[in-house]
Structure 1
């Protein structure tokens, strides 16, 4: 499935153009020549108590919101290697705040190619014509000051080449990718955020036990901004070196833990080079087949969406998924995301934001082709800047329909 939130295209319009010899190959799929067509339709209705993410001392917009999100995936094989192309549309409508309505488009193509027992290539390309809700991204803390959501276009292209047999002690993976971000608005404040990020790297994994690998991960990134007129450029080169382990100590526990060094070297001499410690950790524990606990944490640098040289991010998340009955399950997640907007070498001058996110859902599979979810999410953002903090609650019900 696509890496976006799973959904699909208008099925009735598609079926009207399908040849007469098309037939249902299996559950959820339609065979069209060499392709399997997989349609999915997601929709939801929810109540939002702070549509524009207004800060705590300002009036908030309350509204019901509907989301209609159809998706269509075309999957096939080339010489036994899986390839798929997908498109997803997402239309959001706020009943009491039409200014926040949006229509987003997503495209994705991916393929996994096993050239032989020692050579593998994975590739993916994504395109998004999307939006940032008022009060998020560049307009964080200023949601009531802009008329409509900010729109942007972004692309992501990446490929990995792996050398080494699955049964061998060592494996090396070479990685390359490119990401771009372009806001649709023409104001200078937005133009200076348009950028591209090119990435190259390598990962070496070596088996040191029956289910344990030691990993060395090296990545070099080159970040270039399209338009930096009137400001000191934020162009930079990043070097990241992580070392750690991946393991599957028992049938119930898997995980990875990597820690290392990060350097962010700005092209402008007036912006100080950053040196710090990065990490990536993820652990999954399944004490019984119907219950799974997950914990993840990471530290990295992010490009600023407003002030400062960059953002120093540290994220933590814990979740519990449980199947109560054959068709009934639940999910609970608690996340903490911290953003330090680094302005100078003096930590006192920096801006610190903290977002606590609590989410829960109760999921029911009514039929093989129909499922429902009752969900709730609370966002609580605090900052040492008075204009940033807000609370936001969303509660609703969603449905997913497949063939």
Structure 2
């Protein structure tokens, strides 16, 4: 575990992000633009089940074709994204998976005072063994869990962008249901519905103050025997600012209060500080540095009432020339569990460099690390990844 930390400090490692090729766009007669892309990753993971001991490593080939259909008239945009991801393990073929997703979104403005955003998403995903519901149990199950998730959302904003005040209303529903190993997974089937509103006040041409109010009702379909309901209500009130002070600096930050209360009276409620911030600094056209931080109480995937999670992440992307670019970054997350005695400190990082061989082909190499230091011994682990990344456009 200490080796991973030394590597990350020595290399100055930060969060890995994939750079895509300049995708060729196919223009249809009706104004629709087609954007096909193929991503192929070949990597080696030295701890595929995220275990504290008896680690198992394996090579993984991930093939991800996708296609995007976009209609954009400069004001309104309608977009459909379709993709699938096939993962094949070299030795542990039981972990092979095939994930699919579809996203349909729309943005339209009938006038300069009215704006609408709609979203519909459907996912069929796998949950690698040793993560999510099987966290800490490694390869106890014979194959990964799979689940389906559906999201529907909408937002309406009133007020001209040049006016001093604007107001927005939004709603979103989400459903998640596991497909297999129902004896354990059925207790993590969830549904939620969220309502929110935001009031914006323009301080100047580049800066807005805003107030975010939201409420989310989270329900679990079934309650495990001899346990208490996990159903909860999450209320937040955050005061924020978003800005683009210069062409070099943009950002959004909001800070406020969160209250997460459970239906089961024996579970401990949360009331306290919550925040979100994303800041980007671009001192030169070919380099940018981003910083992200957040804090919120969230539902755990296994035990406990809630997890009070704090995140800090830094990333540097640099284009050395028109063909060569790199990314280096790191994040530090602290998860403090309530209802059980557990605290995790998670250091992640990576370095990547990619080269654009042709307009349609980009090749990259990357290194990723993760070090999870937990007060619960079986949750402490480290893992290292290294691989090749290919982005191919039509």
| TM-score w.r.t. length of structure 2 | 0.91
> Could you tell me which of 335, 338, 342 is aligned with 1:342?
338
Q: Provide the residue aligned with 2:84 in structure 1.
A: 89
Q: Deviations over 1:2-50 (max 9, x none)?
A: xx9899xxxxxxxxxxxxxxxxxx9421527563332111111111111
Task: Please tell me whether the aligned partners of residues 310 and 333 of structure 2 are also in contact (alpha carbons under 8 angstroms).
Answer: yes
Q: Provide the residue aligned with 2:355 in structure 1.
A: 364
Alignment of 1:211-290 (within 5 A): 211-230=206-225, 231-290=227-286
Q: Provide the residue aligned with 2:365 in structure 1.
A: 374
Q: Provide the residue aligned with 2:135 in structure 1.
A: 140
SS class of match (1:325): coil
Task: Please tell me whether the aligned partners of residues 145 and 181 of structure 2 are also in contact (alpha carbons under 8 angstroms).
Answer: no
Instruction: Give the Cα–Cα distance (whole angstroms) in 2 for the partners of residues 296 and 44 of structure 1.
Output: 26
Q: Provide the residue aligned with 2:109 in structure 1.
A: 114
> Could you tell me which of 102, 121, 125 is aligned with 1:126?
121
Question: Which sits farther off after the overlay, 211-220 or 185-194?
Answer: 185-194
More relative contact order, 1 or 2 (CA 8 Å, 6+ apart)? 2
Is there any run of 5+ residues in structure 2 with no aligned partner, and where?
1-16
Task: Tell me whether 1:176 sits opposite 2:175 in the alignment.
Answer: no
Q: Deviations over 1:170-198 (max 9, x none)?
A: 11111110111111124343111111110
Shift of 1:160: 1.2
Alignment of 1:297-376 (within 5 A): 297-343=293-339, 349-376=340-367
Instruction: Give the Cα–Cα distance (whole angstroms) in 1 for the partners of residues 362 and 146 of structure 2.
Output: 31
Shift of 1:249: 2.1
Is there any run of 5+ residues in structure 1 with no aligned partner, and where?
8-25, 344-348
Shift of 1:388: 0.4
> Could you tell me which of 19, 44, 49 is aligned with 2:41?
44
Q: Provide the residue aligned with 1:14 in structure 2.
A: none
Task: Please tell me whether the aligned partners of residues 51 and 378 of structure 2 are also in contact (alpha carbons under 8 angstroms).
Answer: no
Number of aligned residue pairs: give it: 375
Instruction: Give the Cα–Cα distance (whole angstroms) in 1 for the partners of residues 174 and 102 of structure 2.
Output: 14
Instruction: Give the Cα–Cα distance (whole angstroms) in 2 for the partners of residues 167 and 210 of structure 1.
Output: 8
**Structure 1 runs of 4+ with >4 Å offset:** 4-7, 77-80
Q: Provide the residue aligned with 1:21 in structure 2.
A: none
Q: Provide the residue aligned with 2:393 in structure 1.
A: 402
Task: Please tell me whether the aligned partners of residues 124 and 158 of structure 1 are also in contact (alpha carbons under 8 angstroms).
Answer: yes
SS class of match (2:28): strand
| TM-score w.r.t. length of structure 1 | 0.89
Task: Tell me whether 1:63 sits opposite 2:58 in the alignment.
Answer: yes
Q: Provide the residue aligned with 2:14 in structure 1.
A: none
Q: Deviations over 1:42-89 (max 9, x none)?
A: 11111111111121xx22222211111111222235896221222111
Question: Which sits farther off after the overlay, 364-373 or 32-41?
Answer: 32-41
